[in-house]
A and B are shown apart, each in its own frame.
Chain A
Amino acid sequence: MTELRNKNFIRKILSQIPLILLFLSVLNNFDFNYLGLKYFSFNFSYILIFYYSLKKNESLGYIYIFIAGLFSDVVIGTPIGLSSLMYLILCGAAAYLRNITLRPSLIKDCIFFLITILIVNSLLFIILNFIFNYQLEYFDQIINIICTFLLYFLFSNLFDFFENYFVGRTNAG
């Protein structure tokens, strides 16, 4: 009985890992900047939010994503509400893809993810540059988009592995 309860408890903790990861990623903003790599930066939060909104919708509540966006704005220093908006658009795109997909495939997901982050980053660039007069380096944005897109393959497989072997499938993905 106790063992069963312990297992349930561990499963509950494991099912909260995406949420914990999301908040850690926005608070810590980890993108390996300190390694000083010139052409490397990616947005882990985008990958996490898109993947979990697409595959396991119930893992990340929209309200938590909204709050994570507010936290991200504070850490990065962008106008408050902007990251929330971008995260929620990403969620919307993932939910749309989920609704129209009959046979999921990683390649299709990746292409849709690329289109979505291109739109989201363009919107971000337009809002920051034209409304809030922030100067952004266009080239850095492109690098960020490319690396985020490429790393989606890696993280998608890692999350699949984590969900299959640690959490266990509870719904059809």
Chain B
Amino acid sequence: METSRDDFVIAIRSAFLKKGTQQRFSLLGLIFFSIIFLILGSLNFKAINYIKIAINEVVYRSSFIVSGPENFLKDNYLKAQNHFNLYKEYEKNKSELTTLRSKDLLNEFIVNENKKLKNIVEDYVIESDTILAKVLSDKGSPFLKSTIINKGSKHKVNLGMVAMDGEYLIGKVIEVNYLSSRVLLLSDLNSKIPVTVEPNGIQSILSGTGKDYGIIQYSKKDEIIENQSIIYTSGAGGLFKAGIPVGRLNINYLNEEKKVTFFSDFSQLKFVKIYSYISSEAK
């Protein structure tokens, strides 16, 4: 019994303390070093933050280059898939275009009327200058659904700014480096934004799931939420402007799960627009 305990201790000591051939540091030393890194990083220690920013800049660029071949394959695979669906898409687009043309005439009038009304209630209507950013990396890790963009504090990107794909909301900036930033996508498990479910105007919270869809949370059960409703930002909290389209609701009547399919395909992002919204009065 005594001998087996000794063997265990010797094996552990040898594994963690002994430096092998071509090993300059012992394992235990490096483990301590990473724990110190972790603790100081969580305490926002300045030196660690500078190291982190430097690593970020190098790694984001390297990751973009290294991902090149994989992205090339992915793009070609999707391109081929699109070619197969071309005729079907054309027919669908043709019918949609006819409908949209008729709606467009009405839309212009409503937009102008809306602007006037928002000015009266001093809502968030004025956008900052648009910053167009290229997506460097969109690694969907099990931990974080985020994308890296090639604009940072040098280009006046700030924490909390809104990221859009065309007219659709995709997320917000959660990390800013000098030449790059990280955008937390709406699909991330930690993303929660206030939304309005239209046409009934129900206020709710859209939560990310870590998958490619979101779910509607915290709405009362007796409220009538229609299937295929459109989800817009509600503007509550002041971060987002009200009325930015987010996605479409699909209710699963078996388990009462309210899934939101995002209008933007987060795996296909190439360029994103970064804004911040300020009230007309503040401007």
Which residues of A pack against B, CB within 8 Å? 24, 27-30, 33-34, 36, 41, 57-58, 61-63, 66, 69-71, 74-82, 84-85, 88-89, 91-93, 95-96, 98-100, 127-128, 131-132, 134-137, 140-141, 144
CA distance A58 to B23 in the complex (A): 7
Q: Residue of A at shortest CB range from B184?
A: A77
Which size bracket describes the interface of B in this complex? 35 or more
Contact (Cβ within 8 A) B12 A77: no
Verify A88–B34 contact, CB threshold 8 A: yes
Fill in one digit per residue for B22-61: 1 if any A CB lies within 8 Å of its CB, else 0. 1111110011011111100110000010011001100110
Complex CA gap A21/B59 in Å reads: 16
* Given A77-B182, A134-B190, A135-B189: A24 in contact with B20 (beta carbons within 8 A): no
Distance from B241 Cβ to chain A, minimum over Cβ atoms (Å)? 26
> Is B93 an interface residue, CB under 8 A from the partner?
no
**Set of chain A residues within 8 Å of B27, measured between Cβ atoms:** 62, 88, 91-92, 95
Would you call B142 and A41 a contact (CB within 8 A)?
yes
Residues of B close to A84: CB separation below 8 A: 30, 34, 37
B143 to A132, Cβ gap below 8 A? no
Residues of chain A contacted by B98 (CB below 8 angstroms): none
What are 16 A-B pairs with beta-carbon distances under 8 A?
A: A27-B59, A33-B139, A33-B140, A36-B212, A71-B55, A74-B52, A74-B56, A78-B144, A80-B41, A80-B51, A85-B31, A85-B38, A99-B10, A134-B189, A136-B142, A140-B210
Closest CB pairs A-B (n = 5): A81-B37, A95-B15, A81-B38, A77-B144, A84-B34
Once bound together, how far apart are the Cα atoms of A126 and B21, in whole Å? 34
Cα distance A74–B15 in the bound complex, in angstroms: 28
Query: When the two chains form their complex, are residues A57 and B21 in contact, meaning their CB atoms are under 8 A apart?
Result: yes
Docked Cα-Cα span, A89 to B38, in Å, equals: 15
